[in-house]
Amino acid sequence: MKSFSRFTYPYILWMIIMICLPMLMIVFYAFTTQGNEVLTLQFTLDNFMRFFEDSIFPSVLWRSLKIAFITTLICIMIGYPCAYVISKLPGNKQSLMVLLITLPMWINMLVRTYAWRGMLNDSGLSNEMKVYIGMVYNFLPFMILQIHTSLSKMDQSLIAAAEDLGASKWQAFLKVTLPLSLPGVISGITLVFLPAVSSFFIPKLLGGGDFVLIGNLIESYFISTGDWNFGSAISLIMAVIILISMYITKKLDRQSKEVR
């Protein structure tokens, strides 16, 4: 095995260049002021103070979390029944349904969002509703696939045993199917909530330009305004929130496995 360890070096180098170095630069910019030179470098917390002192920025963050939460909830409500129905189909039909679900994902997400923009322009819906439609459409397949994977791997004899012991189909679902499928639900939550909370082009394209989320703020301060320091501070705040979310979902996943 040690002889193969050298093959990991290119990947480690790639991770350092493409992940670690950009993150270190974000941390560096977040804790410094604009225009600092190497010889007169001064660290500051002003960028973070600016974010929390202005009521606009926390409200945008709250709106982003709210939309990501509602999007995730809608994806669970739609995705679980779909995954459950698919898991009950014969093998060939299951494969066909999974293919149909993943087929739109072969097209770039930006192109698909542009298509929804054209369809929703004259719909009369509010910008917020358009954003929800775009979010759910783009992230729903991740939820369905994760839940379907858990359901399809489940031992069906456990359900039969529960019914033989007198449980109704609803009771068997609540006591057997639902607990065993929770890891898939938690994985789906991770794959939906995290990209939804940091999404910027979906609200930009479908929100009519006046529906701003935290991802739009980061994009604006990096590209339009050129204030990389404040943009880095916002990015770092989002990174902390994402890490906390990942920790919570990982803990829930561990607890669900212990219950099993």
Residue 257 pLDDT? 63
Q: Is 140 within a domain?
A: yes
Q: Is 15 within a domain?
A: no
Q: Is 39 within a domain?
A: no
Q: Is 42 within a domain?
A: no
Alpha-carbon dihedral of residues 10, 14, 20, 24, nearest 10 degrees?
A: 120
Q: Is 35 within a domain?
A: no
Residue 175 pLDDT? 84
Provide the residue type at 45 as one letter: L
Q: Please identify every stretch of the chain with a pLDDT value under 70, giving residue numbers as ranges.
A: 1-4, 35-40, 209-210, 256-260
**Structure confidence by residue, pLDDT tens digits, 77-123:** 999 999 999 998 888 889 899 999 998 888 888 889 988 988 888 88
Measure the CA–CA gap between 91 and 74, rounded to whole angstroms. Answer: 27
Measure the CA–CA gap between 152 and 149, rounded to whole angstroms. Answer: 5
Mapped onto helix, strand or coil, the DSSP state of residue 33 is coil
> What angle, rounded to 10 degrees, do the helices at 127-152 and 109-120 form?
130
Q: Is 137 within a domain?
A: yes
Q: Is 45 within a domain?
A: no
Residue 256 pLDDT? 64
Q: What is the 3-state secondary structure (H, E, C) of 68-128?
A: HHHHHHHHHHHHHHHHHHHHCCCHHHHHHHHHHHHHHHHCCHHHHHHHHHHHHCCCCCCHH
What total of structural domains would you count in the chain? 1
Residue 170 pLDDT? 86
- Structural domain of residue 81, as residue ranges? 55-259
Q: Is 33 within a domain?
A: no
What is the CATH number for 78?
1.10.3720.10
Alpha-carbon dihedral of residues 79, 241, 11, 20, nearest 10 degrees?
A: 160
pTM of structure: 0.84
CA nearest to 198, candidates 168, 159, 243: 243
Residue 4 pLDDT? 63
